[in-house]
Amino acid sequence: MPITLYDLAGADPALRFSPYCWRTRLALAHKGLAVEAVAWRMTEKDRIAFSGQGRVPVLVDGEKALCDSWAIADYLDEAYPDRASLFGGSAGRAHARFINGWADEILNPGIARLVLTDIASVLDAKDRAYFRQTREQRFGLPLEQVVAGREERVVTWRAQLAPVRNVLARQPWLGGAAPDYADYILLGSLQWPRCVSRFALLEEDDPVAEWQRRGLALFDGLLGKAKRV
């Protein structure tokens, strides 16, 4: 039985854009595990109720059902120890937690403020109403006001990537000589706006953009060939 991933989709079921689901897609590819990534919409809470919560990624591997991208990566390294490691051992895992926390707490909220309206526009009607209501409550503003002035604000957002540039000046991947889960965290974050928006987050000559282009080619172009708006 293949592994199943419940994967956030837009009105177009081929459009997949959740940063957290992309982390899992990349982790599965790194482990060389086949997956059936089934389209799932934000309001289809009943379809993943078996996981005990209402967000994706949700992974089903035989009898096991898991949620949360970090817990799924942990599971994959433990359940498939003979395949390439995602974390490279306990210190690699411990330190990757920081990169995961930085992406979740700093990077992703900043991306949301740049592309919220673009996300809304790719959703089907029911999800769009749900998304607008929950996000406007979270940000305390209409989505259009949150996103306003993004051409100027993106400069500040880019400055927050300084630690990534610092690393890439010294090694080709966040994982060192080869990509690992640390790279997939950040590639997942950048795949999110890449799929839903034509707004350019990175300048072409940014070392982070150069690294992203190499990431797009990984696993036979898993990210690079993905559907975009």
Which 8-state DSSP code applies to residue 97?
A: H
Binder to a second copy among 52, 81, 89, 140 (CB under 8 A)?
89
Closest CB to a second copy among residues 49, 178? 178
Residues 125-184 interacting with a second copy (rule: CB under 8 A) = 160, 162-167, 170-171, 173-177, 180, 182
Q: Which of residues 4-43 bind a second copy (CB under 8 A)?
A: none
- Per CB under 8 A, the list member of 32, 101, 149, 221 interacting with a second copy is 101
For a second copy, give the closer residue by CB, 75 or 173.
173
| CB of residue 44 to a second copy, shortest distance in Å | 28
Structure tokens at 6: 């419940």
Which residue type does 183 have? Answer: D
Residues in contact with a second copy by CB under 8 A are: 85, 87-102, 104-106, 160, 162-167, 170-171, 173-177, 180, 182
